[in-house]
Structure 1
Amino acid sequence: MTDLAVTYRGYAERAQAEADAATLENVRERNQRAAQAWMQMAERQERTDRGRAVRENAAAAARADLRPEPQTS
């Protein structure tokens, strides 16, 4: 998990806690929507990071395949 995803999940937890503590329905709903949005951002960030790692690994493997073989004398 990335630092951003962890940060987003922290924001989601805080928003959910505020929703749980809210006495006004509109405040509770607003904070629940915020918590849901933060969780979606965390999930999207994790997907992005996984995709980036796959691409970087594939690029590294391709570069390794292009390196010349060591010559033996």
Structure 2
Amino acid sequence: MPNKSVSATALIFVLVLALALGTRPAHAYLDPAAGSMILQVLLGGIAGLALFFRLFWRKVLAFFGADRPKKDAPEGR
């Protein structure tokens, strides 16, 4: 019975080798400005999501009913 870790390693090696040998040249050029623009879009999207959740998190929870007080909880606490 073959060792599973060896067979998985061999499979990964064969897949990486097939991908490396089967590449074709890309007839495109990404200059540094394009790379920085992509990075800026990603960081802006992350910042926008963070701001959205910071501003509207309680409203989202209230919409789904997570903000309701529990019936077991004593009043005034």
TM-score where L is the length of structure 1: 0.41
Larger Rg: 2
RCO greater where, 1 or 2, for CA within 8 Å and sep 6 or more?
1
> Per residue, is there more helix in 1 or in 2?
1
TM-score where L is the length of structure 2: 0.40
